[in-house]
A and B are shown apart, each in its own frame.
Chain A
Amino acid sequence: MEEKVIEVNFGPQHPSTHGVLRIKVKLDGEIIVDAQPIIGYLHRNAEKLSEMGTYPKALIYMDRLDYVAAMNMELGYVLAVENLMDVQVPERAQWIRMLVVELNRIASHLVWLGTHGLDMGMLTPFFYCWRERERILRIFDEITGSRLLYNYMSIGGVYSDVTPKALEMIKEWESDFVDKLNEIGSIFQKSYIYVARTKGVGKLSRDDIISYGVTGPMQRASGMKRDVRKDTPYLFYDRVNFEVPVREEGDVYARFLVRMEEMRQSAKIVSQVIEKMPEGEFYNKKYSKPMLVRLKANGESYVPTESPKGEFGIYIIGDGSSIPYRVRIRSPSFANLSSVPTMLKGYKIADLTASISSIDPVFGEVDR
C-alpha cells in the first residue's frame, strides 16, 4: 500500500482562526507534513491611503491596525511623528499615555485568553475574561468617549484629560483585578486536559526565533530576555518598577504563562503611574489646531515600541511638505506568523489550533 499525502484547506472562514487566515495543510495520516499560510484577505491599503492625506489624518488608519490594542498603535505613530517634527510634549501627557497603553495591554491579553480557551474547547473562560474586559472598556469610555477605537492621542499630547471620576474607577478596578485573574488562570492550570494538550506542542527553538525575526511574548517564552521597554526605554518606563517574565521551554504552555505574568506586571505599572502622575497641561498649545497649522516635516524617523504582540514601529519618510512620502508599518504579527511552517511540521493535526492561537495574530496588522 502506498502512502498518500492529502491536502486540506483551512479556509478563510473557520471557527477557530482568529480572523481571516487560510492554511494549506499537507497531511500524511494525522501528521502534518507541510503547512503554508496564505494571507491578504484583509488588505485594506492603509499605507497608500496614509500617503494621500496630512499627518494628523493618517492617525485613523493606525488605530485600525491592531484593533484590540489600538492605543499602542497610535503611540507608535505619534512618537515617530513627534520625533520627526521636534515637538515638545508636556510631562502629564506622557504619563497619561503610559496609563492608557498599559491598560490596553491588559485588555488585549484578556481577548487572547478568552479566545484561546474557546479554541481549546472551554467555554467558561470566554465569559469570565469578557466580564473583566468590560470593566476596562468602561474606564476608556469615561476617559476618551469610545470603547474600541479611540483616536485619542494627537501630535503634542492627548485629546482630553483624565478626570477624577476616571481615577476613582481605576482605583476600584485595580483593587481586585489580580485576584480575579488568578481565578481565571487556575481554570487553565488545574485542568489536566489543557496541560496535556499544550505541553511540548508548537516548540520554536532559539535559532528559529532569531532567524524569523519573532518578537514579543513568543520570544520571551523561548528563553530570550528582550523587551523594548527595558532595552531602549521610551516615555517614562525607566522610572517605574516592573519585571520581564521569561520561560525556557518555548511551547504553548510557556507562552500562556508568560502572558499571564505580563498582565500582572502591567497592573503593577498602572498602580505606580496613577501615584506618580503630576498636574499640568495635557497637550502642547502650539499644535492644538492641526487643521489650521500645516505641519511640515523633513527627514526619516523610526521609534521602536513594545505592543502586546511584539516590537512595533512606524518608519516615516517626509520630504518637506505636509503630506508624508512613505509610511511603512513594522507589524509584529507578520513576522510571528511567518514562522508557522517550522512550528507545525511533525505535529498532529489536533495541535494546529493550539499552536496558531498561541501566536495571537491580529489580521488588521498582518495584512494592513
Chain B
Amino acid sequence: MISVESETKLKSGIRVVYVPKENIFQYLKERKEEGFDTLLMITGVDYRDHLEVVYHLLSTRTNERLVVKTKTDGEVDSVTSLWKGANWHERETWDLVGIKFRNHPNLRRILLAEGWVGHPLRKDYPMDKKQYVNLGDDGEDRVSFDNKEGY
C-alpha cells in the first residue's frame, strides 16, 4: 500500500491527494484494482518553479471521484498499460506542457505540427516569436521561424 504525502479537497467536494513521483504508477494501479476504473483526463500545470501532473479518476460502481497529483521536473512514468485512453492525453500533455512520459509507445505531437519548437502552455513561452508551417513534398509538415517559408 502506497501512502499519500498530503490530502485536501476541491471546492466542489472531490478528494485530492498528492503522491511522490516515484510511486505514482504503483499508486494508480492500486486505485484501479480498488474500483476507480475510469480515467477521465490527464493534465499538466506549470507552476513557475516546478511542473505538476494531475489525474482525474472515477469509479463507475460507487460514483466516487478522486484527483491524484504529483510534482515533477519533467519526467513521469506512463500509465498506458493500465488505461488505453491515457495514450492521447499523455501525448497532448507532452505537446503543450512538455512533460515526458517514460515507456509511452508513441510520444509525438498531436495538436501542433511536427517540428514545432517549444511548449506553448508554459508560462515562459514567447508569444511574439511566430512560427510558420508549410507542406513538404512527402506530405509531412515543415515548420520554420521564417516569414517567407510558410503560413
Contact = CB atoms under 8 A, between A and B. Distances in A.
- State yes or no: do A and B touch (Cβ within 8 Å): yes
A107 B15 CA distance: 36
A302 B56 contact: yes
Interface stretch (A62-70, A145-153, A281-289, A327-335): A327-335
A328 to B, nearest CB: 5
B60 A224 contact: yes
Interface stretch (B40-48, B70-78, B142-150): B40-48
B10 A212 contact: no
A292 to B, nearest CB: 25
Given A40-B112, A48-B120, A48-B121, A84 B11 contact: yes
**Max count, chain B CB within 10 A of own CB: residue among A326, A330, A339:** A326
B103 interface: no
B120 A213 contact: no
A83 B12 contact: yes
Contacts of A47: 96, 121
B84 interface: yes
B14 A302 contact: yes
A40 B110 contact: yes
Given A48-B121, A303-B12, A211 B84 contact: yes
Nearest to B69: A300
A43 interface: yes
Interface size class of A (residues with CB under 8 A): 35 or more
A210 B63 contact: no
Contacts of B121: 47-48
A302 B37 contact: no
B39 interface: yes
Interface string A40-56: 10010101100000000
B85 A338 contact: yes
A299 B63 contact: no
A214 B37 CA distance: 12
Contact of B10 (A9, A43, A300, A326): A300
Nearest to A342: B84
B40 A311 contact: yes
A142 interface: no
B1 interface: no
A210 B120 contact: no
Interface in B75-112: 83-85, 87-88, 96, 109-112
A95 to B, nearest CB: 21
A330 B65 CA distance: 15
A4 B110 CA distance: 29
Given A40-B113, A43-B112, A211 B83 contact: yes
Given A83-B11, A300-B11, A301-B10, A328 B120 contact: no
A330 B11 contact: no
B23 interface: no
A76 to B, nearest CB: 12
A317 interface: yes
A211 B41 contact: no
A86 B14 CA distance: 16
B10 A328 contact: no
A214 B58 CA distance: 12
A332 B39 CA distance: 12
13 contacts: A43-B111, A48-B120, A83-B11, A208-B84, A231-B63, A299-B10, A301-B11, A311-B40, A315-B56, A330-B40, A330-B56, A335-B85, A335-B88
Interface of B: 10-12, 14, 16, 37-41, 43, 45, 54, 56, 60, 63, 65, 67, 83-85, 87-88, 96, 109-113, 120-121, 139
Given A43-B112, A300-B10, A338-B87, 9 more contacts: A40-B112, A43-B111, A213-B41, A302-B56, A304-B65, A325-B45, A328-B41, A334-B88, A367-B111
Interface of A: 9, 39-40, 43, 45, 47-48, 80, 83-84, 208, 210-214, 224, 226, 231-232, 299-304, 311, 315, 317, 325-326, 328, 330, 334-335, 338-339, 342, 367-368
